[in-house]
Structure 1
Amino acid sequence: MKKIMLLMLCSTLVLGSCVSSKKFKELEAKQKSTQDLLNTATVKLNSCESDKAAANARVKSLEERLAEMRKTNQDLIQTSGDMTVLTTQGAKNLEKSLESLKEKDLKISRLQDALTKKDSVTLALVTSLKKEVGINDEDIEINVEKSVVFISLSDKVLFKSGSYQVTSRAREILGKVATVINGKPNFEAMVEGHTDNVPFNSNGTLLDNWDLSVKRATAIVRELQSLGVKPAQLIAAGRGEYIPLVSNDSPENRSTNRRTKILILPKIDQFYEMIEDEMKNLSEE
């Protein structure tokens, strides 16, 4: 009897341990997902802070100019108050100065609105990509670099070694990327192929790493086109071995450098042209 009770006690302890281990793994996976989201948010925050600092510096300069003009106008009004008759020409000059101040205030407001809208669109695009593609694969990176959204895919996800034939796993991922691009008709997708620095042995089809990176980029572009993305939205670029992420001094590092990067770019006439025009107009006045 005692042996039976002892056996039941041991079984209870073992089962309890299994449940705790399973729960721990679930919590551990949840923690990793949360940390990935935090890392991405941190990168986005840093990028936004940089853009905000540049805009604020410009705004501060314009506000200083605005304060100077307001002071000049105030002095003019004070002086004119001491005059018995305000000449017609003086009244016109004062009116023009006040109108100029209103225009500058409007341009500053438009510039701030454009920057805010650009940041909102970038954040929405990153969220959409992460929702479609997922972020739990170490061979897939979705991030923001200099206000441009990009997806970086390891070559082992997309191609076999030395090949530019797209794998079935790649088609699954690219299908999700195509869904996002198709929902953004005013955006373009530039595909960049990157290799390591190991010399490529020509087999009559491929000449070198330049050739391999270009053919991999065009293979991805064709796949996206077959998934419904408009050709006018697609750009293929081969970068060869010349923009490595790390030194090509180990198999692991060379694997890191072999990648394909898909950059999601807003068309210039959507946001940036307006910002540049406003900046140009303000600098000329």
Structure 2
Amino acid sequence: MRLRALTIAATVALLAFSGCVSSKKYAALQTEHDTLKRDYNASQVELAETRANGKSLESLLAQARANNEELKRNYAALQKSLDNSISQNTQGNVNISKLVDEINASNRYIKQLVQAKSKSDSLNLALTTKLTRSLDANEMQEVNVKVLKGVVYISLADNMLFQSGSYEVNERAMETLGKIAKIIKDYDDYDVLVEGNTDPVPINRTNIRNNWDLSALRASSIVQVLQKDFDINPSRLSAAGRGEYNPIADNSTELGRQRNRRTEIIITPKLDQFLDLIDKAPNQE
């Protein structure tokens, strides 16, 4: 097309210079020349666009190839994640089964504790009822019975049991101790701790150094009376002295000090029963 345009242009020029062509013929040739020139320019634009589109196609192809590689990587990652999920799900099933077993074991242990507590509460209620019914009005003024956190506390006033500064048991205390001993013998599933307590007033005795000594000696005296006079199994008995360091009242008054001078007989379920329950407790990992 370009060669044809050049040929016509040369012919037109030659005719013009030769003066052998008419004006009409010249005008026709000029029109054809203009048309060919426009066609030529359009062809150039089309060629440029074609080249540009070719480059765009190459870019699109490169992008498509890059996207394809990215999709392959994503697929591989997804497959790996799926494999891990399947593996973890299998392990999860094992963990869930183990957790269910632990829950069941814990429920059994809780049930044992509830049963033990119910038994202990029932025995404590019966024990307390029998004990309070066995004491007369005068004894109830000097003996306080209560249940605290599953433990039976029998608190005996100091002046009912001992002379001032002494650890020898009064004769008048023997009847009350006999009633308590009978109840203790009826409940052989329980251990007995005897605790001596004093006020903070210093003691002045040649054979007793301080209130620690006095409280421990008084507890020991009660334990030996229960064993020797009332045939309580000594393996169930313990003696402890707490001195002046376990007050239940204000020591600034005489009434308060009087309340603090006491001996407590504490009746509790046997320790080995609790240890058995602890041994049965489900292991927690």
TM-score normalised to the size of structure 2? 0.60
The aligned runs of 1:13-162 (5 Å cut-off) are 102-134=104-136, 137-162=140-165
Question: SS in structure 1 opposite 2:268?
Answer: strand
Residue 282 (structure 2) aligns with: 281
Residues 1:245 and 1:275: Cα distance change in structure 2 (over 3 Å) = same
Q: Give yes or no for contact 1:114–1:275 (8 Å, CA) kept in 2.
A: no
Unaligned runs of 5+ in 1: 1-87
Cα distance in 1 for residues equivalent to 2:100 and 2:207:
69
Q: Give yes or no for contact 2:198–2:243 (8 Å, CA) kept in 1.
A: yes
Cα distance in 2 for residues equivalent to 1:221 and 1:183:
17
Residue 210 (structure 1) aligns with: 212
Pairing 1:165–2:165 present: no
Residues 1:281 and 1:162: Cα distance change in structure 2 (over 3 Å) = same
Q: Give yes or no for contact 2:106–2:282 (8 Å, CA) kept in 1.
A: no
Give me the CA root mean square deviation.
2.8
The aligned runs of 1:184-223 (5 Å cut-off) are 184-202=187-205, 204-223=206-225
Residues 1:154 and 1:116: Cα distance change in structure 2 (over 3 Å) = same
Residue 79 (structure 2) aligns with: none
1:176 to 176, 179, 201: 179
Question: SS in structure 2 opposite 1:149?
Answer: strand
Residue 255 (structure 2) aligns with: 252
The CA deviation at 1:207 is 1.8
The CA deviation at 1:154 is 0.6
Cα distance in 2 for residues equivalent to 1:247 and 1:98:
53
Unaligned runs of 5+ in 2: 1-89
The CA deviation at 1:261 is 0.5
Report Cα offsets for 1:89-136 as digits up to 9, x if no partner.
999988777666654543343332222222222222212222233566
Question: SS in structure 2 opposite 1:255?
Answer: helix
Q: Give yes or no for contact 1:245–1:256 (8 Å, CA) kept in 2.
A: yes
Q: Give yes or no for contact 2:193–2:240 (8 Å, CA) kept in 1.
A: yes
Work out which of the two has the higher radius of gyration on C-alpha atoms and give 1 or 2.
2
Report Cα offsets for 1:208-258 as digits up to 9, x if no partner.
211111111111111111211111111111111111111211222111111
* Corresponding residue pairs, total: 196
1:225 to 224, 227, 247: 227
Residue 243 (structure 1) aligns with: 246
Cα distance in 1 for residues equivalent to 2:233 and 2:218:
19
Residue 261 (structure 1) aligns with: 264
Q: Give yes or no for contact 2:190–2:269 (8 Å, CA) kept in 1.
A: yes
Cα distance in 2 for residues equivalent to 1:156 and 1:92:
67
Cα distance in 2 for residues equivalent to 1:92 and 1:255:
65
The CA deviation at 1:147 is 1.7
